[in-house]
Amino acid sequence: MHPLEEFYLQQTRREMLGRTAGGLGAAALLSLLGKTGSAASESGTAKGLPGLPHFTPRAKRVIYLFMAGGPSHIDMFDYKPALNDIHGQELPESIRNGQRITGMTSGQKSFPCVAPMFNFQRVGERGTWMNTDLLPYTASIADDISIIRSMNTEAINHDPAITYINTGTQQLGRPSLGAWLSYGLGSENENLPAYVTMISVGAKPGQALFSRLWSSGFLPSKHQGVQFRSAGDPVLYLSNPNGLSANMRRHMLDGIAELNRARFDEVGDPEIQARIAQYEMAYRMQTSVPDLMDTTDETKATYEKYGPQSEKKGTFAANCLLARRLAERGVPFIQLFHRGWDQHGNLPNELRTNCLSVDQPAAALVQDLKERGLLEDTMIIFGGEFGRTIYSQGTLTKDNYGRDHHGRCFSTWVCGGGFKPGIDHGETDDYSYNIIKDPVHINDLNASILHNLGINHKRLTYKYQGLDQRLTGVEEHHPVKEILL
């Protein structure tokens, strides 16, 4: 309790003591100050913070398609025909301009520029460039999505970069975007977690992920992302042990609840009531989660839309379909991780494989949500932790090359839920190396996501270590109004 509250508590208590019995006044005052006991704040009724949203939200939920490893913006979204003119030429020092590069290429003697070895076309009404070899389905939704070509981050290696974009800082121990949202907004669905993550299986494992990417950091741990899995229990420990039927579980829980209620009468600790509620929610999850994961009620047409891999559990395509089902059930933050984008070498082949896994399902998700009227209040974000260099890592051959990490610029597409459809934002130089117009820092994007949810990113705070901590950190960051409706 804040000392001042306590101070008032005493004042009030003293005043009231003359008239009434002891404790009553205190309890009344506590509710007056908007404070509730810890039990209530921890209970399963996952409503968000009072005063939130700060203003009318455009979106109710987010589906973040996170491409871990650093997808090559140059080979996917940030094309310009002039790239062909510099193919094979050394990257001019005036472009790199002394900027640091990773230890993997800093020893290279030569930095030959590489133009993408794919076909690009102008697509959509605005005629935006896109790799139509690899992203034909994404090209077909060009008018729904907006491409930010000026994303940037200070980090140049995976571990700091992926931590940065997911938690707003390179420091460890901070809450992830999803945890902040769970803390701020709660969830309208009491039977499912507010923050669900899924990791594609079958993709090349590639760079490491860390539980810190969906952790609650210094926020209460109930806000951490709950991973839904395609194999084993869909949520850890969800299933009753073999030999213990649902009926028996129900009977057992009834007994436990009865004993807990009696204990509450004896002890008076409201945490006991919270425990009873949590056990009930656990029981409900035993039904609601399998119900969500069981996609047998989906039509053949739906599977076809999401592509051939969508019937195979755990694939990115299957996870996209589940993401839609989660969105339908009101889960506010859904994050899919797809690994394997770290093409230091053999880029043409590996990029093709990755795009084959993600292109159709991601586009299908957009269309599916649109058809169901959900796209309006659901944001979809597709992007990774950084981009890749214009120069080749290792030897550039006639049909093969690699690219190192590049944080100075990269491309992310956004759509739905408050984002303008069908525009391009930001511009890079002729080498897709530096941003020349409208830079969007990763925390500007985070601020924009919060904005669409009706949150002023500067006012979603949590006091930790004496500071009002927030997702977007201490530097100045702003929602990118040009891309917002």
Footprint (CB under 8 A) of another protein, residues 310-369: none
Examine residue 53 and say whether the peptide bond preceding it is cis (omega within 30 degrees of 0).
yes
Write out the binding residues for another protein, residues 149-168 only, by CB under 8 A.
Answer: 156-159
Q: What are phi and psi of 209, to 5 degrees?
A: -110, 165
427 DSSP assignment: E
Q: CA–CA distance from 479 to each of 170, 432, 453 (Å)? A: 20, 24, 12
Token pair recorded at residue 298: 């989906």
Full DSSP string of 352-399: HHHHHHHHHHHHHHHHHHHHTT-GGGEEEEEE-S-EEEEEESS---SS
Q: Which of residues 97-116 bind another protein (CB under 8 A)?
A: 100, 102-105
Q: Tell me how far, at minimum, the Cβ of 466 lies from another protein, in Å.
A: 3
> Does residue 272 belong to the site contacting another protein (CB under 8 A)?
yes
Q: If we measure between CA atoms, which residue out of 341, 351, 292, 350 comes closest to residue 318? A: 292
Q: Which is nearer to another protein, 70 or 124 (CB)?
A: 70
Does the protein bind another protein through residue 18 (CB under 8 A)? no
Amino acid at 101: I
Cβ distance to another protein smaller for residue 134 or 272:
272
Instruction: Give the strand pairing for 145-152 and 410-415.
Output: antiparallel
Residue whose CB is less far from another protein, 314 or 417: 314
Residue 107 C-beta: closest distance to another protein, Å:
11
We find the least distance from the C-beta atom of residue 176 to another protein, in angstroms, to be: 12
Nearer Cβ to another protein (82/244):
244
Q: How far is the CB of 208 from another protein (least distance, A)?
A: 4
User: How far apart, in Å, are the Cα atoms of 227 and each of 116, 143, 166, 185?
Assistant: 36, 32, 15, 19
What the block records as the tokens of 387 is 């981009």
Please identify, among the stretches 3-11, 179-187, 326-334, 444-452, the one whose residues bind another protein according to the rule CB under 8 A.
3-11
Nearer to another protein, 70 or 332 (CB): 70
Decide if residue 465 touches another protein (CB under 8 A).
yes
Strands 403-406 and 120-123: unpaired
Q: What angle do CA 376, 378, 380 make, to 5 degrees?
A: 115
**Count of positions on this chain that bind another protein (CB under 8 A):** 104
Write down the least CB distance from residue 57 to another protein, Å. 18
Which residue, 363, 477, 383, 483, is CA-closest to 424?
483
Query: Considering the rule CB under 8 A, would residue 7 count as an interface residue with another protein?
Result: yes
Residues in 35-54 at the binding interface with another protein, rule: CB under 8 A: 37-39, 42-44
Site string for another protein, 198-227 (x = CB under 8 A): -x-x---xxxxxxxx--x---xxxx-x-x-
Contact positions with another protein (CB under 8 A) in 380-409:
404-405
Under rule CB under 8 A, which residues in 226-265 are in contact with another protein? Answer: 226, 229, 231-233, 235-245, 247-249, 251-252, 255-256, 258-260, 262-263
Tell me how far CA of residue 239 lies from CA of 199, 225, 252, 254, 282, in angstroms.
20, 19, 15, 18, 10
Residue 271 makes contact with another protein by CB under 8 A: yes
How many angstroms separate the CA atoms of 201 and 229, rounded? 9
